[in-house]
């Protein structure tokens, strides 16, 4: 009888052991499959070769893709290295009419032949992907019958990826700082004059938009900015001491907001157009930290100073707390002059740069930017937006630290503080900037509806969002027979009103802000180049709004 009990106990132990072993095997196998799936998702860019752009590109698969797994397996032993190229004297276009490679589509070129390493002997290709304000460029080879994007796979390209971030400006103490880009082909640059040649780098030219440009070996145009040596990047102040011994504590701006520039757009005085003779109109008013002279107008009643003081479009006429116009300048004229509203500096190219005190910067209202949230599942989020000119209104009320909300896949948003449900988050604020753009559209007032239907769909908005946009704007754009319209590139929108969403990483952010100016008559202008229609997958954030340009 006792032996029989022993057999029963031993059997129970065997059953329990088998159960735990099967559970352990299931967990290990699940983890392995999860890691394989994650590896596939994370390597899609590497395997397929989608180009990296500023526009939303989605590479998240819900299910493992066997073809992608196979490509990843074939490429897993490839080690990134710095590639040397025998470049062609000019790019060879690969697009044919049947490829659909029109003005606003991706273009591909044969650029040269790789001469070193594992890919030695292979043709190197250049891919141009349109974005608002320019293009993004990536390099690829054909690997296992697929486009293998070198930048996505951490490969460097000598003469391009290792280009110096900072270069000494010849015959001066100044420096050039590598700007964004490249955003265009060098063949598209309108050259004003050749500047200088630096051995081992190449010839620098001045373009018609004021950018210092160099042609890269792949025949794209890389812009460089003239580094302002006395600009404190930490606080935006100019390190200047005035003649009365006072150190500057004001924040200045010297940039224009411009779509499509290959460099920072300086505010530069056109001396001939403005009929300004520096010797007669300017006087030294102080010295920069690098001992260079800073100037302002001799006559404190100079017409440019009086025009700025009386400009009702500046922030000095805006109630910074409640928004709206004050009707008069918030400073007396003596206070205005005491703030040194306009300063001037002569850069190493001999141009006169304008530095404007931000107290007197151009102000434009950012009208009804609204934020839609589309998470994949019900998600608690913290949403922060920070317009540089401040808010004039928000719905729901914007608390310190931003909105705390619960977002749903259908777009419904619950304000966690009140429990109220919204279709979107609303804000309006003051935008600080002078917008300069030489492309876009001039649209008749009665044609705005069809214009928005076409362009907003191309920019990735869905039917509901487009209808919301039209409902707001069509009733407001009624004062002029024509309207000049362009859409700000995302990097400019991000600078004007930084957006931050925490707790979950968004897969795509579409920030579609229109700048619009009323016109009394039609004007011809080049059409703005728009990106390819972005795909919407994963956690998508969509924001639209507008800025009325005076």
Give the range with max mean pLDDT: 22-36, 462-476, 525-539.
Answer: 462-476
Range of the structural domain that residue 274 is part of: 240-360
Dig out the tokens for 34 from the structure.
């999860």
Q: What pLDDT does residue 160 have?
A: 93
Residue 145 and residue 105 share a domain: yes
Residue 354 and residue 374 share a domain: no
Residue 536 and residue 427 share a domain: yes
Q: Which of 262-276, 289-303, 315-329, 357-371 is the least confident region? A: 315-329
Q: Which of 59-73, 87-101, 379-393, 511-525 is the least confident region? A: 59-73
Residue 248 and residue 341 share a domain: yes
Q: How many domains does the chain have?
A: 4
Contact (Cβ atoms closer than 8 angstroms) between residue 248 and residue 238: yes
Dig out the tokens for 97 from the structure.
């009419």
| Degrees to nearest 5, angle at CA 432 with 441 and 184 | 50
pTM flag (> 0.75): no
DSSP per position, 317-335:
GB-TTT-SB-SS-SS-HHH
Is the confidence at residue 323, as pLDDT, over 70? no
Residue of 352, 376, 486 whose CA lies nearest to 60? 376
Q: Which residues neighbour 115 within 8 Å (Cβ) at sequence distance 6 or greater?
A: 84, 85, 86, 121
Residue 378 and residue 355 share a domain: no
SS3 369: strand
Per-residue model confidence as pLDDT tens digits over 430-450: 766 656 667 899 999 999 999
Contact (Cβ atoms closer than 8 angstroms) between residue 514 and residue 334: no
At which of 110, 136, 162 does a domain end? 162
Tally Cβ neighbours within 10 Å of residue 290: 11
> Within a domain: residue 218?
yes
- Distance (Å, rounded) from C-alpha 238 to C-alpha 228? 9
Residue 398 and residue 536 share a domain: yes
Per-residue model confidence as pLDDT tens digits over 531-549: 777 778 889 999 999 888 7
The more confidently predicted of residues 140 and 11 is 140
> Within a domain: residue 330?
yes
> Within a domain: residue 184?
yes
- Distance (Å, rounded) from C-alpha 333 to C-alpha 344? 20
Residue 376 and residue 417 share a domain: yes
At which of 140, 162, 184 does a domain end? 162
Q: Which is it for strands 257-258 and 435-436: parallel, antiparallel or unpaired?
A: parallel
- Distance (Å, rounded) from C-alpha 464 to C-alpha 27? 44
At which of 337, 360, 383 does a domain end? 360
């Amino acid at each position: 009888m006792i032996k029989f009990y022993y057999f029963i106990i031993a059997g129970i132990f065997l059953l329990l052991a088998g159960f735990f072993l099967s559970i352990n095997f299931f967990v290990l196998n699940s983890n392995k499959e999860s890691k394989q799936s994650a590896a596939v998702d994370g390597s899609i860019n590497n395997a397929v070769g989608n180009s990296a752009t500023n526009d939303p590109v989605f590479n998240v698969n819900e299910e493992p893709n066997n073809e992608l797994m196979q490509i990843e397996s074939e490429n897993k032993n490839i080690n990134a290295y710095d590639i040397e190229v025998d470049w062609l004297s000019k790019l060879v276009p690969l697009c044919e009419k049947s490829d659909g490679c029109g003005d606003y589509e991706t273009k591909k070129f044969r650029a040269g032949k790789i001469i070193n390493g594992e890919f030695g002997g292979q043709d190197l290709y250049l891919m141009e992907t349109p974005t608002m304000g320019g293009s993004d460029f990536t390099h690829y080879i054909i690997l296992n019958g697929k486009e293998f994007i070198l930048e996505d796979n951490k490969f460097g390209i000598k003469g391009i990826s290792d280009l110096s971030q900072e270069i000494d400006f010849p015959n001066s103490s100044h420096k050039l700082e590598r700007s964004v880009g490249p955003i265009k082909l060098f063949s598209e640059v309108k050259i004003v004059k050749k500047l200088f040649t630096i051995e081992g780098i190449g010839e620098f030219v001045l373009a018609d938009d004021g950018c210092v440009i160099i042609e890269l070996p792949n025949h794209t145009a890389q812009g460089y900015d003239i580094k302002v040596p006395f600009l404190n990047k930490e606080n935006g102040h100019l390190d200047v001491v005035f003649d009365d011994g006072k150190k500057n504590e004001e924040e200045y701006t010297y940039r224009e907001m411009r779509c499509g520039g290959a460099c920072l757009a300086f505010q530069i005085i056109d001396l001939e157009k403005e009929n300004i003779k520096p010797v007669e109109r300017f006087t030294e008013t102080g010295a920069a930290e690098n001992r260079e002279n800073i100037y302002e107008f001799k006559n404190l009643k100079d017409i440019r100073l009086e025009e700025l003081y009386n400009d009702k479009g500046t922030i000095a006429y805006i109630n910074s707390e409640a928004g709206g116009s004050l009707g008069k300048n918030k400073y007396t004229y003596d206070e205005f002059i005491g703030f040194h509203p306009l300063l001037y500096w002569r850069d190493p190219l001999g141009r006169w740069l304008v530095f404007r005190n931000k107290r007197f910067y151009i102000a434009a209202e950012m009208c009804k930017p609204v934020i839609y949230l589309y998470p994949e599942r019900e998600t608690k989020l913290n949403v922060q937006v920070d317009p540089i000119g401040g808010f004039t209104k928000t719905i729901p009320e914007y608390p310190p630290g931003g909105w705390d909300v619960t977002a749903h896949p259908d777009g419904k948003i619950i304000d966690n503080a009140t429990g109220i449900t919204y279709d979107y988050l609303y804000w309006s604020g003051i935008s600080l900037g002078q917008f300069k753009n030489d492309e876009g559209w001039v649209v008749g007032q009665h044609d705005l509806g069809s214009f928005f239907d076409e362009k907003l769909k191309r920019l990735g908005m869905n039917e509901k969002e487009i209808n919301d946009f039209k409902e707001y704007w069509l009733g407001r754009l009624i004062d002029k027979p024509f309207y000049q319209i362009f859409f700000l590139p995302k990097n400019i929108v991000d600078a004007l009103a930084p957006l931050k969403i925490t707790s979950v990483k968004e897969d795509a952010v579409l920030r579609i802000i229109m700048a619009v100016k009323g016109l009394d008559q039609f004007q011809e202008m080049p059409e703005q180049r728009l990106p390819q229609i972005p795909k919407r997958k994963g956690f998508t954030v969509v924001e639209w709004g507008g800025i009325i340009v005076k």
